[in-house]
Structure 1
């Protein structure tokens, strides 16, 4: 292993032989770090943090610290689990879970820019980009292929659906529907994440089906329950439409409302 002489590593930490640890890193016991992961400098990794393969973690990051939850008891055994091929930039702070045996979880291939806060019990999927200084409160769930712009705040227990985009400075207090773009304070749906869907390779037929689905939900005059009933008349929807239906039906905080931009219709 390439371990800088100023690094402090507990003998009970488990590091793959290929792990690199830079200057002034501190790693507690009950930490596991997988093959090919590189730690830059001045990184603090607390007990109960498990990191997968080929991650790149930059200076000033703190991983797996005690949750900022006044009811949390420090002796509670909880975890932070990070997958493979993630980039975690400078000064990010990720906390572990709050319930015995449970974890804050980050998936694979995520690009997490500087100063991001991931609070206790958050779940982040795969292939997401989260931009500088955004904050995810406790129990937030982020899907896959999501783009969260800078200085965004997401309320505790909110969900962010797959392929969605949150604009900069947005205040997210309800669930963000999949494939949508939201903006504002509080955030509202302003249209589809059309650029993201094209870049992800979704066909025009799939994009049109998603657009039609949201027209029924937001532009038909139905309330949400009525719109979902209308959508479920199709006994064999494509997976993307079924995911939208399931997302709306499983929400607990409510779904972000739609608003038109500049007084007109925003369907794209």
Structure 2
């Protein structure tokens, strides 16, 4: 299952059922599990662990050095991919920037052509990133989130679970669970269709909607709204949204803004 033109490092561990295509380079102590497929001219660089059934598209590069001016190439770090991921043509995933650390991806993610995950990104399960999405370093992505093509994200921010993000947007602040985001750091409401498709009950969706309005459209600032929301009990699905908003990263939280003008 290894094409004769492929170049394989002697320390690589490749399951006999994996398929390694023409001109693939596996350069380093990679671990490639059962049923994986590495398509033509892709490169697997350094310490990369790949779960069963993962597909790496043509000319993708997994495990390259971080684009960090302070990074030292001798740093021992890597990339860990879960099972059943599909990374299409020209996707790039860089290894972590600190010794012993890993850029990580869970299971069942689908990254379309040209998507980029920078160093130290941590991604959950079953996310879809459309073409040319660019995630900077140290971003955390939840699960079951869809990101439109060409969207770009600043380092150290968080993207929650069950979100939908419009293509060509720019984001430097956290996008909470269940939210729909667009333009520049702007929330447009909840991912109502996504929640329904993912099996959230009518009652759960109604409570999440009530909490969203309390947090973002009540006229209170965010800390005041969080304090009010904490004054009552919520079921677990809504509580996850409250907990996310109550513990923002240093980047802050995206907000709902009225009107159609441009942001500063």
With normalisation by structure 1, the TM-score equals 0.95
Please tell me whether the aligned partners of residues 2 and 21 of structure 2 are also in contact (alpha carbons under 8 angstroms).
yes
Please tell me whether the aligned partners of residues 190 and 261 of structure 1 are also in contact (alpha carbons under 8 angstroms).
no
Q: Distance in 2 between matches of 1:82 and 1:160?
A: 19
What is residue 255 of structure 2 aligned with on the other side? 257
Please tell me whether the aligned partners of residues 39 and 57 of structure 1 are also in contact (alpha carbons under 8 angstroms).
yes
3-state SS, counterpart of residue 27 of structure 1:
strand
Displacement after TM superposition at 1:262 (Å): 6.3
What is residue 245 of structure 1 aligned with on the other side? 242
Count of residue pairs the alignment pairs up: 260
* RMSD between aligned residues: 1.2
Unaligned runs of 5+ in 2: none
1:154-187 deviation digits (Å, cap 9, x = unpaired)? 1101100100111010001100111111111x23
3-state SS, counterpart of residue 243 of structure 2:
helix
What is residue 46 of structure 1 aligned with on the other side? 45
Q: Distance in 1 between matches of 2:50 and 2:247?
A: 30
Displacement after TM superposition at 1:231 (Å): 1.2
What is residue 193 of structure 1 aligned with on the other side? 191
> Superposed, which structure 2 residues align to 1:140-159 within 5 Å?
140-159=139-158
What is residue 181 of structure 2 aligned with on the other side? 182
Q: Distance in 2 between matches of 1:162 and 1:44?
A: 30
Displacement after TM superposition at 1:53 (Å): 0.5
3-state SS, counterpart of residue 52 of structure 2:
coil
What is residue 6 of structure 1 aligned with on the other side? 5
3-state SS, counterpart of residue 3 of structure 1:
coil
Please tell me whether the aligned partners of residues 190 and 260 of structure 1 are also in contact (alpha carbons under 8 angstroms).
no
> Superposed, which structure 2 residues align to 1:1-40 within 5 Å?
2-40=1-39
Displacement after TM superposition at 1:260 (Å): 3.7
Q: Distance in 2 between matches of 1:3 and 1:80?
A: 22
Regions of 4+ moved over 4 Å: none
The question of 1:225 aligning with 2:223 is answered yes
Displacement after TM superposition at 1:199 (Å): 1.0
What is residue 214 of structure 1 aligned with on the other side? 212
3-state SS, counterpart of residue 63 of structure 2:
strand
Displacement after TM superposition at 1:198 (Å): 1.1
With normalisation by structure 2, the TM-score equals 0.96
